[in-house]
Structure 1
Amino acid sequence: MSRAIDRRQFVRAVGGAGLVATAGFLQEDEAEEDPEPEEGGEVLVWDAGGTGGTYYPLSGEFKTIVEAATPHGLQVQSTGASVENVGSLAREDSDFALIQNDINFFAYNGTGLEEFEGRPIENLRGVASLYPETIHVLVAAGAGYESVADLAGATINTGDLGSGTQVNALQILETAGVEEFDEQNADFATAADQLRDGDIDAAFIVGGWPVGAVEELATTADVDILAIGDDLLEQLLDEIEFFAEDEIPGGTYDGVEEAVQTVSVQAMITTHEAVDETIVEEVTAAIFDNADELTIKAEFIDVESALDGMSIPLHPGAEAYFGERDEVDLDEELGDES
């Protein structure tokens, strides 16, 4: 469907999608079999994201670490990611979730998106920041698109309905002046298939590089990643406080040999206030005390950066863990958020 996106329409578009997600009317989550906790442990529900992104495989590594270091079992679920995960935590249907820091801020403060406007979700609590989630704007190589502004009139997959990817995609398109385009909504793996098959012109994928769906696509098709150019970059950094300047290194994906300038948000582990303080402390300690066992985003996941971009109040269990670490000054890192 062709649509003109202005600021009001942007909020309505994302708001409507997010309402569906947070109300829990999306397709039922893909979940593994229930884990069996040890004596004294609990089954903890952990919402990740789509299987083609970074959230899901990283959550699988967290599951292995947490189950080895604590008596608890993690039930990792594939979901539509950030906005949907906010809804699950709000309803206390899950115990932990991976959520972008900007979506956490909007949800907790009841602002930014229509489904949150005036309806703050005040039970959200932060556990830790993990890594930059890099925004990839993918197009077919040789298709003639040189910048985001060139996507006017194109068919674009902006990510799953109600996802943080969709939020970021519409923010970027609006800022770039792209007012008319055909919007498609699907997970990363489907978006990659659509681009490979010529069913769409561009796809937004947000995740820590290398993203599995992009890696696979780049091995079977010639793709380009559009740079967020200097003027657009400056506008985005001025207008959207949670965007940070980022770069996809050359050679990260087959056929993309030069570094690509772009922006990112932060991936966060989030929980809700009703989760037991001891459980949150145990899970936080398991992950950060054993971060050297990670193979995904291991270069970023570290105690020293775990509170960077923390956009909501810290859960007391996480505060107890980080408060005992010499590398962390809670007062300096959190200020008014603690």
Structure 2
Amino acid sequence: MVRHIKRRKFIALGGAAGIVGFAGCIGEDAEEEANGDDDANGDDDANGDDDANGEEEDFGEAEPDEGGEVLSWHAGGTEGTYYPLSGDVKSIVEEHSPHGIQVQSTGASVENVGSLQREEADFALIQNDIAYFAFNGTGIEEFEGEPVENLRGIASLYPETIHIVTQADSGIETVEDLEGASVNTGDVGSGTQVNALQILETAGVEDFDEQNTDFGTAADQIGDGDVDAAVTVGGWPLGAIEDLAVNQDIAFVEVEEDLREDLMNEAEWLAEDTIPGGTYDGVDDDVETVSVQAMIATHDGMDDEIVEDVTTAIFDNTDQFTTQADFIDVESAQDGMPIDLHPGAEAYFGDAEE
């Protein structure tokens, strides 16, 4: 679906970005709505493909020990970062605690907040900006005036880098060059769309053709020349872009210094970031951009001891991660935390500081 849009919808609102006009995915039909486009959060975020249908797959059933619980862990789509990272979590928690983890592929952040709100998930991965919006009842239409009061934080994990990808010969070098272009901004209602529209708005890009799909489809659209640029959000390297770069000459649109400063002044959860040269085939130079944080969230109905067990298993064994292993560390686990911690997480991190 292509929409020709005049965009002046991003506003600063109590330190939060206001994006309006999204399809919602927080109500009872959240999973169906989010998966209609297949992925409700870029990531992360997110970052689904046709497997992001709410079914458990690949990692097998939860395997709790005697006295342990089966815990539902909502991840993201299988082509992003959340899903393989959740496989690491499953292995670590099941080895170092009595509990079993059932990983579920989802539309990621926005959908996952809805699952936590309804207590259909025990734990979930979300972006820290989406957590802020949800907890404070602001920022995007789904949450406006309706804070998700039972949402609780556990830990920050790693930066979710905003990638703006295009064909190498597109001639698009700055965000401002996207005026009049066709841009895939991620699934409707997703964290990726929030970030993409924030960047475009802040850069003064008002008129563009917006397309909304998951990361895998967005990469295909770049490869086929169906869109001029696509915004994806996740820890590098992103699998969909890696695959694209093997078969297609690509480039990234840099978020230049002045624009980075404007964005960070408007949204406190954003941070400067760099995609190192050589991360993707054919892209040899560093690319300056911004990022949000991926984080683990839960809800206030979760048992304190279970949350502490899971948190302890994860952060006492960070050396066992194979995805984003360079970033996951107890020392940075509260960086960019935008919401109240669950008491079980407070207990662990309070002990860790002593």
TM-score tier by shorter-chain length is over 0.9
Q: Does the Cα contact within 8 Å between 2:10 and 2:197 map onto a contact in 1?
A: no
In terms of mean alpha carbon deviation, does 26-35 or 280-289 score higher?
26-35
- The amino acid that maps onto 1:39 is E
Alignment correspondent of 1:181: 208
Equivalence map 1:293-332=2 (5 Å): 293-325=320-352, 328=353
Alignment correspondent of 2:242: 215
Indicate yes or no: 2:288 matched with 1:230.
no
Alignment correspondent of 1:332: none
For residues 20 and 281 of structure 1, the distance between their equivalents in structure 2, rounded to whole angstroms, comes to 29
Shift of 1:115: 1.4
Cα distance change on mapping 1:306 and 1:8 into 2, 3 Å = closer
- The amino acid that maps onto 1:172 is I
Cα offsets for 1:217-276 (capped at 9, x unmatched): 111111001100122112111111111111111111111100000000111000000111
For residues 19 and 303 of structure 1, the distance between their equivalents in structure 2, rounded to whole angstroms, comes to 31
Cα distance change on mapping 1:233 and 1:310 into 2, 3 Å = same
Indicate yes or no: 2:266 matched with 1:239.
yes
Alignment correspondent of 1:269: 296
Would you tell me which structure has more helix in proportion to its own residues? 1
**Per the alignment, in what secondary structure is the counterpart of residue 220 of structure 2?**
helix
Cα distance change on mapping 1:19 and 1:35 into 2, 3 Å = closer
Q: Does the Cα contact within 8 Å between 2:63 and 2:94 map onto a contact in 1?
A: no
Shift of 1:31: 1.9
Q: CA RMSD in A?
A: 1.7
Cα distance change on mapping 1:48 and 1:38 into 2, 3 Å = same
Cα offsets for 1:138-178 (capped at 9, x unmatched): 00111110111111122211112222111100111111111
Alignment correspondent of 1:80: 107
* Partner residue of 1:115 out of 142, 145, 166: 142
**Per the alignment, in what secondary structure is the counterpart of residue 12 of structure 1?**
coil
For residues 116 and 68 of structure 2, the distance between their equivalents in structure 1, rounded to whole angstroms, comes to 20
Q: Unaligned 5+ residue runs, structure 2? A: 12-17, 36-52
- The amino acid that maps onto 2:178 is L
Alignment correspondent of 2:47: none
Alignment correspondent of 2:50: none
Equivalence map 1:48-197=2 (5 Å): 48-197=75-224
**Per the alignment, in what secondary structure is the counterpart of residue 152 of structure 2?**
strand
How many residue pairs were aligned? 326
For residues 68 and 143 of structure 1, the distance between their equivalents in structure 2, rounded to whole angstroms, comes to 48
Cα offsets for 1:190-212 (capped at 9, x unmatched): 11111111121111111111111
Q: Does the Cα contact within 8 Å between 1:18 and 1:163 map onto a contact in 2?
A: no
Shift of 1:19: 5.0
Shift of 1:18: 4.5
Shift of 1:280: 0.6
With normalisation by structure 1, the TM-score equals 0.92
With normalisation by structure 2, the TM-score equals 0.88
Alignment correspondent of 1:336: none
* Partner residue of 1:13 out of 16, 21, 24: 21
**Per the alignment, in what secondary structure is the counterpart of residue 205 of structure 1?**
strand
Indicate yes or no: 2:27 matched with 1:25.
no
Identity %: 63
**Per the alignment, in what secondary structure is the counterpart of residue 195 of structure 2?**
helix
Cα distance change on mapping 1:62 and 1:301 into 2, 3 Å = same
Cα distance change on mapping 1:160 and 1:20 into 2, 3 Å = farther
For residues 107 and 277 of structure 1, the distance between their equivalents in structure 2, rounded to whole angstroms, comes to 22
For residues 28 and 166 of structure 2, the distance between their equivalents in structure 1, rounded to whole angstroms, comes to 27
Cα offsets for 1:293-333 (capped at 9, x unmatched): 112111111111111111100001111111111xx37xxxx
Q: Does the Cα contact within 8 Å between 2:75 and 2:82 map onto a contact in 1?
A: yes
For residues 217 and 21 of structure 2, the distance between their equivalents in structure 1, rounded to whole angstroms, comes to 21
Q: Does the Cα contact within 8 Å between 1:242 and 1:265 map onto a contact in 2?
A: yes
Cα offsets for 1:5-25 (capped at 9, x unmatched): 1126972223x3445797343
**Per the alignment, in what secondary structure is the counterpart of residue 165 of structure 2?**
strand
